[in-house]
Amino acid sequence: MRRLPADEGSQAAGRVADVRRRNLSLVLDRIAARDPLAPAPSRALIAAETGLTKASVSSLVADLLAAGLLTEVGLSRDGERGRPGVGLALNDGLGVLGLEINVDYLAAGVVDLTGRVRIQVVEERINSGRGPEEVLRDLSDLSARVLSRAGQDGLRVLAAGLAVPGLVDAESAVVLDAPNLGWSRTPLDLAPLMPPGGRGATVALSNEANSAALAELWYGHGPTLRAYLFISGEVGVGGGLVFNGELFLGPGGHAGEVGHVVVTEEGSMCSCGGRGCLETVAGQEAVFAAAGTAGSTPAEKMERLLTALGGGDPAAEAAVARAGHYLGIAAASSARLVDISAVVLGGYFSRLGPWLLPALRASLATHAPRLLDTADVVLSELPQTAALMGAAGSCIRDVLANPQELMEQPPGAASAGA
Amino acid sequence: MRRLPADEGSQAAGRVADVRRRNLSLVLDRIAARDPLAPAPSRALIAAETGLTKASVSSLVADLLAAGLLTEVGLSRDGERGRPGVGLALNDGLGVLGLEINVDYLAAGVVDLTGRVRIQVVEERINSGRGPEEVLRDLSDLSARVLSRAGQDGLRVLAAGLAVPGLVDAESAVVLDAPNLGWSRTPLDLAPLMPPGGRGATVALSNEANSAALAELWYGHGPTLRAYLFISGEVGVGGGLVFNGELFLGPGGHAGEVGHVVVTEEGSMCSCGGRGCLETVAGQEAVFAAAGTAGSTPAEKMERLLTALGGGDPAAEAAVARAGHYLGIAAASSARLVDISAVVLGGYFSRLGPWLLPALRASLATHAPRLLDTADVVLSELPQTAALMGAAGSCIRDVLANPQELMEQPPGAASAGA
């Protein structure tokens, strides 16, 4: 088949556009990767760091300023030499909506392009056994309140991500299996959750432990750890594997489910249908039950458990130590199977650190002594809403990697709320 | 810095050489991937399949014939149309030396380029506690016998690979940790094992379970399985993860160590220093002990165990069922952590299949019922020397991917033994 010259012309134009797209993203990346305590970088410094010419950087920055992705932040002197330049920063007037459905709460928030959580609302709500329509309606109400506050604060919301406690098919927005919610092969109608004027076609759906593991990578301990297993304690126990700065999803897309590693062969039934999974002994309900902690809501039980631990209550201490023991077994098994060099404990585990870690370390000493010598075991310092931050963070990464999508929006949309 | 025209000339020459190298490998790959039952492909068919011109294929094939990598195998008619062409096949007069050190045997063999094991010698030898010099001397003797027979058979041996039961640093030829041999941070002097006239600088060192997992991929069930955990039963229990046709080594290079997944928290001490690892309950010595099987060598014990099982001996059946139970727990944990869709049992496990599999399946039904529905559990049909085949197979793949290295050898070496 003969190729028409017109085709060749549009192919060449396509290649030029590709190069510009990559360069826009490269410039944004240099600005985003900047230590927030360092002075904002100038065009000249970005040129030096990226290898692009100063003229190219000026042109790219002009487009990014026009699209509203960057702001100029006053004079900045890069090092000792050279004249001071205008500093550039991500526009923190742009943000992304992060949403989370968990077994015992709903959460919504706005994270700005620099990664700061600007608005956040968490509402206790027992969602297990409720249908998706009902839960999504509540989440939609919560989201509307958050977006309204964002509008008052002059924040423009570009996109949205939703984290749920289960295995998902992100492409088709289906929750494949969320046993603690009672959802299986459940399609979600996410359109009502899209922020008005948001970019992209839909809300990005993710697994909450994977999202929290990514939040740890971007906003927590991640940068200092080479290969870690993130273990998230909630009603369920979720997990995410991060290797060399990337989430490892495995050959089928659902790796990292450490909550269903078998840690006690004579254990009780798990929500997954199995027996003796980590979740059955380290999920928060299992720990509350073992500690004899009463309360009308999980949050209340959690406060009472912490009070009991603070007061040296033996039943509470034993219950948490037991969870730590089994976390150690799961960590030992995981380390040998996927060769991680660190474990990060998130969710409610991070609040139990002082009582959990000694038992976890003792368990590693018994079951994998060499791992104890070489691996880091650290507590996440992110808030309960790490999954929300990760779900939003994925969208922010997407915006920064594809800035031209924002530029291609009609000027009205691009300036709305700015 | 000004670049000299001479540099540009040699760079351009380098690019031409790269293209030719890739095309040589492409042609070899088409011939190697051929179903052995189908007629040998002609130059015309290879041209059609690769998109190269017939003239290019003829020139590439001429070089590969001259280097001795291919042979012409008589007339072949590709489909109905066109005149019959000369068929092309890998030269099965070329082979690779595969070597294995295991805890209770040494093995050496020659695998030809088509993947057939042409010579193989296994010698029982208790290597645990022996020093590497002594073991390598014995292996060198065994290897010399195998190479001598290869010479008599007109086989030219191009390279060598050695598999050992432990974690290795292949680059520096160091056994990092082989607890069942008692070797730790042990450098191996592999030079004496290089076949005379072999290509490459050294013998390729690998982990035996990883090599056996690759043998399964290339010569066993692998092509039909998307993502599997290979579990190898020996004195130790090794493992290898294969995802989408590639070995997954994990972020630190040592993933897949399923033998040290903790399956019984009250279990006994493992060679790794831990407690309750799969190896402590499913390694062959553990099963012999539980079954009360006596014998002067592991091979003798194995025959007696099989005899006892065949005769319905309850202690033998219970011992093997116990191993199957714990294999099921390890498989359940592995499946959730890395999202495999199949388990392949190799080494001595494959001989115990009829007694092992029912208990393994019952264990999956208890601990991961959904996995039982979706995952394949299959027995390897490869011989005991799968690791040797995998170690040789890696070298064969290397030869086929870099045929020009063989062509660059002096003509004397290239024609020796051909």
| Chain B environment of A340 (Cβ under 8 Å) | 250-252
Cα dist from A325 to A364, B104, B238, whole Å? 8, 36, 25
Which residue, among A265, A277, A366, A374, would best test binding to B if mutated, counting the most B CBs under 10 Å from its CB?
A: A265
Distance CA B128, CA B108 (A): 18
pLDDT in tens, B289-313: 999 999 998 899 999 999 999 999 9
As given in the structure block, the two tokens for residue A97 are: 């909506």
Exposure of A279 by Cβ count < 10 A (0-12 exposed, 13-18 middle, 19+ buried)? buried
As given in the structure block, the two tokens for residue A407 are: 């530029």
As given in the structure block, the two tokens for residue B75 are: 């007339």
Cβ–Cβ gap A337/B249 under 8 Å: no
Distance from CA of B190 to the nearest CA of A (A): 27
Which residue is closest to A365 within chain B, CA to CA? B274
Is the separation of the CB atoms in A103 and A167 below 8 Å? no
Write down the mean pLDDT value for chain B: 90
Indicate whether B147 pLDDT > 80.
yes
- What pLDDT is attached to residue A76? 54
DSSP assigned state of A250: -
Distance CA A125, CA A181 (A): 12
Q: Which amino acid is at A267?
A: G
Is the separation of the CB atoms in B261 and A336 below 8 Å? yes
Cβ–Cβ gap A337/B337 under 8 Å: yes
pLDDT in tens, A309-344: 999 999 999 999 999 999 999 999 999 999 999 999
Q: Between A and B, how many CB-CB pairs are < 8 A?
A: 140
Q: Which helix (H) or strand (E) holds A175?
A: strand A174-178
pLDDT band at B5, cuts 50/70/90?
Answer: very low
Q: Which helix (H) or strand (E) holds B233?
A: strand B227-233
Cβ–Cβ gap B370/A338 under 8 Å: no
Q: Which residues on chain A place their C-beta less than 8 Å from a C-beta of chain B?
A: 226-227, 239, 241, 243-244, 249-265, 272-277, 329, 332-334, 336-341, 366-370
Q: What is the DSSP string of A326-343?
A: HHHHHHHHHHHHH--SEE
pLDDT band at A406, cuts 50/70/90?
Answer: confident
Distance CA B195, CA B108 (A): 12
Q: Is residue B70 helix, strand or coil?
A: strand
Cβ–Cβ gap A339/B243 under 8 Å: no
Residue that has been written with the tokens 């030898």 in this structure: B125
Is the separation of the CB atoms in B323 and B281 below 8 Å? yes
Q: Is residue A368 helix, strand or coil?
A: coil
A206 φ, ψ (degrees, to nearest 5): -145, 165
Indicate whether B8 pLDDT > 80.
no
> Cβ contacts of residue A178 below 8 Å, gap of 6+?
A164, A165, A166, A167, A184, A186
Q: How many residues in chain A? A: 418
pLDDT in tens, A295-304: 998 899 999 9
Distance CA B68, CA B293 (A): 51
Q: Which domains does chain A have, with CATH numbers?
A: 14-90 (1.10.10.10), 94-207+388-415 (3.30.420.40), 221-379 (3.30.420.40)
Estimate the share of chain B in helix, then strand, then coil, as percent rounded to the nearest 5. 45, 20, 30
Residue that has been written with the tokens 């014939």 in this structure: B65
Indicate whether B13 pLDDT > 70.
no
Distance CA B282, CA B273 (A): 16
Distance CA B376, CA B367 (A): 16
pLDDT in tens, B181-219: 999 999 999 999 998 877 766 899 999 999 999 999 999
- What pLDDT is attached to residue B391? 97
- What pLDDT is attached to residue A417? 38
Distance CA A222, CA A245 (A): 8
pLDDT band at B417, cuts 50/70/90?
Answer: very low
Is the separation of the CB atoms in B385 and B107 below 8 Å? yes
Indicate whether B414 pLDDT > 80.
no
If one compares A37 and A160, the residue with the highest pLDDT of the two is A160
Question: Least CB-CB distance to A261: which of B241, B276, B333?
Answer: B333
Indicate whether A80 pLDDT > 60.
no
Write down the mean pLDDT value for chain A: 90
Which residue is closest to B251 within chain A, CA to CA? A243
Indicate whether A410 pLDDT > 50.
no
Distance CA B387, CA B208 (A): 5
Indicate whether A368 pLDDT > 60.
yes
Question: Least CB-CB distance to B337: which of A227, A257, A263?
Answer: A257
Q: What is the DSSP string of B168-197?
A: EETTTTEEEEETTTTEEEEE---GGGSPTT
| Chain B environment of A334 (Cβ under 8 Å) | 337
Distance from CA of A346 to the nearest CA of B (A): 17
- What pLDDT is attached to residue B17? 78
pLDDT in tens, B377-389: 999 999 989 999 9
- What pLDDT is attached to residue A81? 55
Distance from CA of B393 to the nearest CA of A (A): 24
DSSP assigned state of B204: E
pLDDT in tens, A124-183: 999 998 999 999 999 999 999 999 999 999 999 999 999 999 999 999 999 999 999 999
Q: Which helix (H) or strand (E) holds B149?
A: helix B132-152
Distance CA A414, CA A71 (A): 15
- What pLDDT is attached to residue A416? 39
Cβ–Cβ gap B273/A244 under 8 Å: no
Q: Which amino acid is at A403?
A: P
| Chain B environment of A368 (Cβ under 8 Å) | 260, 262, 272-274
Distance CA B214, CA B206 (A): 11
Q: What is the pTM of this model?
A: 0.89
The count of other CB atoms within 10 Å of the CB of residue B367 is: 31
> Cβ contacts of residue B89 below 8 Å, gap of 6+?
B31, B34, B40, B70, B71, B72, B73, B114
Distance CA B240, CA B347 (A): 13
Flag the least confident range among A71-75, B51-55, B256-260. Answer: A71-75
| Chain A environment of B337 (Cβ under 8 Å) | 239, 241, 255-258, 261, 333-334, 337-338
Question: Least CB-CB distance to B262: which of A257, A259, A367?
Answer: A367
Cα dist from A376 to A256, A335, A351, A373, A417, whole Å? 18, 11, 18, 9, 44
Indicate whether A214 pLDDT > 90.
yes
- What pLDDT is attached to residue A411? 43
CA angle A44, A46, A49 (to 5 degrees): 110
Nearest one of A339, A177, A362 to A273, comparing CA atoms: A177
| Chain A environment of B272 (Cβ under 8 Å) | 368, 370
Nearest one of A387, A413, A395, A327 to A113, comparing CA atoms: A395
Q: How far apart are the first and last CA of chain B?
A: 49
User: Mean pLDDT, to the nearest integer, of A261-283?
Assistant: 95
As given in the structure block, the two tokens for residue B399 are: 């030869």
Q: Is residue A65 helix, strand or coil?
A: helix
pLDDT band at A33, cuts 50/70/90?
Answer: confident
User: Mean pLDDT, to the nearest integer, of B345-355?
Assistant: 96
Distance from CA of B157 to the nearest CA of A (A): 35
Indicate whether B171 pLDDT > 70.
yes
Buried b (16+ CB within 10 A) or exposed e, A151-180: eeeebbbbbbbbbbbbbbeeeebbbbbbbb
| Chain A environment of B254 (Cβ under 8 Å) | 339
Q: How many residues in chain B? A: 418
Indicate whether B416 pLDDT > 50.
no
Indicate whether A5 pLDDT > 60.
no
Distance CA A241, CA B413 (A): 49
Cβ–Cβ gap B251/A272 under 8 Å: no
Cβ–Cβ gap A250/B273 under 8 Å: no
Distance from CA of A325 to the nearest CA of B (A): 10
Which residue, among B226, B268, B339, would best test binding to A if mutated, counting the most A CBs under 10 Å from its CB?
A: B339
Cβ–Cβ gap A264/B262 under 8 Å: no
Question: Least CB-CB distance to B368: which of A241, A258, A274?
Answer: A274
